[in-house]
Amino acid sequence: MAPVLSFLLCLLTTPAIAKVAGGFNSPIKEELLDTQAHKKGTCALGSLAISLSVLAGVLVSGDKQSLFLFLNAVPFLLIGLADDIAKYLRHYSDGLSSLSKLILQLAASVIVAYAICDRAQGSLEWYIYYPVAVLFISATVNALNITDGLDSLATKVSMPALLMAAVCFPALRSANLVLFTALAAWLIFNSPKASIFMGDGGSHFIGAFLALDGLVSGSVPSLLIALLPAYIELLSSFVQIVSIRLFGRKVFLIAPLHHDLEKRGLGEAKITDIFLSLSVFSSLLSAMLFSEVL
């Protein structure tokens, strides 16, 4: 019942938010205007539809583990929303400074790692658990945030991983199915050409949720494999930055990888389908390696 409610609520609230808050948009980066100019003015508050739908599903389910995951993902939702608001107010494609956002993400990661330590630490010593947890949370949040650069891309990368988690981690099944069905409804409005964007609030929320899946289940490697396409995106941005600063040269036409492919002439729908295929494969591989079901 809870996943059905989450689906229906997201189906109803997404177009309503797009209509009511249509003026709340995120400016397009100047270097992307040649391929994304048509997206100007698109509402970037989809995070509200996704998070509210998930909250409703979690509350109806009565599952304490689902509520636990949701509440610990909320700090990252707020960081992303703050970035979205800063972009809107500044009328510029960059909101919070990179350093400010990183500090907030790391601070939230430390707090969440502490909040979940009783469920996630297992047999690890605290001096191993905390660095691993903080790095994994912040890396996953940033990976999903960077991946959210084309219509439906972050959604298509996330959904197979959520389904894998629902299969492999029975204690977290309800939580993952609630977010999965919310994104299934969201995909209707976010596929090319999107009528609404999830914004940084949405990508931060989903990234944190998936990181919590790995930590609370005690199976970080399973999420590392399932989210491999998102981590490749993160790595492409890191390689580009290092190459420019150390050698003064670009590895990609533009980072992350999905924008490089876009600049090379691949259509947006084609790129998102490639990433969906990779995500299905990596999530299936993860399930085969870490689940007794398959």
Structure tokens at 44: 């970037």
Nearest to 169 by CA among 124, 212, 115: 212
Residue 38 lies in a domain: no
Residue 241 lies in a domain: yes
Residue 155 lies in a domain: yes
The answer on pLDDT for 294 being more than 70 is no
Q: What is the total count of domains within the chain?
A: 1
The answer on pLDDT for 293 being more than 90 is no
pLDDT band at 292 (very low <50, low <70, confident <90, very high): low
Q: What is the pLDDT of residues 227-248, one digit of tens each?
A: 999 999 999 999 999 999 999 9
Residue 62 lies in a domain: yes
Residue 17 lies in a domain: no
Residue 144 lies in a domain: yes
Contact between residue 182 and residue 54 where contact means Cβ atoms under 8 Å apart:
yes
Question: What does pTM read for this prediction?
Answer: 0.96
Residue 250 lies in a domain: yes
Residue 168 lies in a domain: yes
Compute the mean pLDDT over every residue in the chain, rounded to the nearest whole number.
94
The answer on pLDDT for 50 being more than 90 is yes
Residues 6+ apart with CB under 8 A from 241: 255
Domain range holding 55? Answer: 45-186+197-290
User: What's the confidence (pLDDT) of residue 38?
Assistant: 84
